[in-house]
Chain A
Amino acid sequence: MTELPETPSQTAGPFVHIGLTPGAARTGLLDLGTAIAAEGVPGTRIRIAGTILDGTGTPLRDALVEAWHADAQGRYPPDAADGFRGWGRAACDPESGEWVFDTIKPGAVGDQAPHVALWIVARGINQGLHTRLYFEDEDNSSDPVLNLIEQPVRRDSLIARRTDEAYRLTIRLQGDGETVFFDP
């Protein structure tokens, strides 16, 4: 079988918005990834939100986050519920650095607890970073991916806390409480 080497990654740079959120950046095109689950898709409506902190604890205000998750039955498109896209894209708020997705709560995927894959690009990030968001009100104890993490204390870096308005996750790029990032 032919083996071609992968095209190298490069940073998305500081102006990622004009290409990937062109509606908000007003560069002439409409935004993609604004509706992960259309109205009427079965499931519990939730908001997930958070910030991304650099090594000094400062929120990134120029990052872009994509979310990919299963429907309430744990299925991915094209086998998922009608109107369920599974994919969303959000720019961090230019002031607060907060990212937000409105969606439905995913179901368990096989033996994996409900989770949302997150992918982060930004100026200063040379390869897009893959991580996950789990839910604190689910039973995550036998999730095989969380259990791959050698130090139990680090598993917490992937578990979103339930608040009145959202499940919240702080992603730490480096330093104390550094988030677990994956090489899938």
Chain B
Amino acid sequence: MTFRPRDPARHPPALAPAYKTSVTRSPRLPLLSLDPGPTERTGPVFRPDDLGQMDADLLSNYGEAAPIGERILIHGRVLDGNGRPVPHTLVEVWQANASGRYRHVRDGYVGALDPDFGGCGRCLTGEDGTYAFRTVKPGAYPWRNTRNDWRPAHIHFSVFGTAFLQRLVTQCYFEGDPLIARCPIAQSIGDPVAVDALVANLDMGQTRPFDMIAYRFDIVLRGRRATWFET
């Protein structure tokens, strides 16, 4: 059982000069290809008691009252590259509030902090690989790159899988956002089909009437290579 190699065309290159910070933080020598051994094929195991009861509910896991903003359910499935659900794996999210402001000491944006929003959530996927978070839709925010760059609304995701080589950090954008096409970070991925895989789609089927709009974002981790011994 081994894993298929990562397809570099699906991912942003380490050096993406339009995203200026990548210039001094990108390795210049080639990555060393490694046949995955025990260290790469295993990974940390998380249990329900590692998490708190409210961890997946960003609408209530920080403050006393409901946060300001458009209430959303962001949900989907974690699959491996063979289309199989990845159960009991840790999914972590972090995001700005509805004003585009992060609860972080180094975020100096003028957008208002919300006393009722921390911006952090996590959960374990279910048996069928599903995850769901209640939150508010994050606002767009400006960042120092050129003098007028704005991040599209996004939620940061961290996913584990079963093998340390599947470890993934990414960002999920929202259907219809005109800033996606202008974002040097999103567009550091050269392939528009791959960029589209990071866009959560409106999901009326899961929308909770008079409560929350739903968006669906599925996540695919690296899969195993088919072998003659596998059926």
Question: Once the chains bind, are B165 and A130 in contact (CB under 8 Å)?
Answer: yes
Check if B125 is an interface residue, CB within 8 A of chain A.
no
How does the 8 Å CB contact mask read for A26-70 relative to B, with 1 for contact and 0 for none? Answer: 111110110000000000000000000011101010100010111
B: interface residue count bin: 35 or more
B40-87 residues with Cβ-Cβ distance < 8 A to A are 40, 42-46, 50, 52, 55, 61-62, 79-83
Could you pull out 17 A-B pairs where Cβ atoms are within 8 angstroms? A6-B81, A7-B218, A8-B195, A9-B168, A10-B156, A16-B169, A18-B118, A19-B95, A20-B94, A27-B94, A55-B24, A76-B42, A124-B26, A127-B12, A130-B40, A148-B32, A178-B29
Check if A83 is an interface residue, CB within 8 A of chain B.
no
Question: Once the chains bind, are B94 and A19 in contact (CB under 8 Å)?
Answer: yes
Question: Once the chains bind, are A6 and B6 in contact (CB under 8 Å)?
Answer: yes
Question: Once the chains bind, are A29 and B120 in contact (CB under 8 Å)?
Answer: yes
The distance in angstroms between the C-alpha atoms of A12 and B126, with both chains bound, is: 25
Determine which of A18, A30, A119 lies in contact with B167 in the assembled complex, contact meaning CB atoms within 8 Å.
Answer: A119
4 further contact pairs, Cβ within 8 A, besides A55-B25, A174-B28:
A3-B4, A15-B94, A15-B156, A126-B16
* Chain A residue contacts of B105, Cβ below 8 A: 25, 94
The distance in angstroms between the C-alpha atoms of A119 and B32, with both chains bound, is: 14
Residue of B at shortest CB range from A80? B42
* Chain B residue contacts of A12, Cβ below 8 A: 156, 158, 169
Question: Once the chains bind, are B37 and A112 in contact (CB under 8 Å)?
Answer: yes
A82-135 residues with Cβ-Cβ distance < 8 A to B are 85-87, 94, 109-110, 112, 115, 117, 119, 121-130, 132
The distance in angstroms between the C-alpha atoms of A53 and B80, with both chains bound, is: 33
Question: Once the chains bind, are B7 and A5 in contact (CB under 8 Å)?
Answer: yes
Check if B140 is an interface residue, CB within 8 A of chain A.
no
CB distance from A179 to the nearest CB of B (A): 8
Determine which of B34, B43, B62, B90 lies in contact with A182 in the assembled complex, contact meaning CB atoms within 8 Å.
Answer: B34
A18-B119, A126-B12 given as contacts; is B39 within 8 A of A117 (CB)?
yes
* Chain B residue contacts of A4, Cβ below 8 A: 79-83, 220, 223
Check if B202 is an interface residue, CB within 8 A of chain A.
no
Chain B residues at the A interface, C-beta cutoff of 8 Å: 3-7, 10-14, 16, 19, 21-29, 31-34, 36-40, 42-46, 50, 52, 55, 61-62, 79-83, 90, 92-95, 102-107, 118-122, 156, 158, 164-165, 167-171, 185-186, 188-189, 194-195, 197-198, 218-223, 226, 230
Most buried by A among B81, B107, B169, B185: B169
Determine which of B11, B26, B61 lies in contact with A9 in the assembled complex, contact meaning CB atoms within 8 Å.
Answer: B11
A126-175 residues with Cβ-Cβ distance < 8 A to B are 126-130, 132, 145, 148-149, 173-175
Nearest 4 Cβ contacts at the A-B interface: A19-B94, A124-B21, A87-B44, A2-B83
* Chain B residue contacts of A68, Cβ below 8 A: 39, 42-44, 164
A19-B156, A87-B44 given as contacts; is B34 within 8 A of A7 (CB)?
no
Determine which of A15, A110, A184 lies in contact with B165 in the assembled complex, contact meaning CB atoms within 8 Å.
Answer: A184
CB distance from A93 to the nearest CB of B (A): 13
A9-B170, A19-B94, A182-B31 given as contacts; is B43 within 8 A of A29 (CB)?
no
CB distance from A176 to the nearest CB of B (A): 11
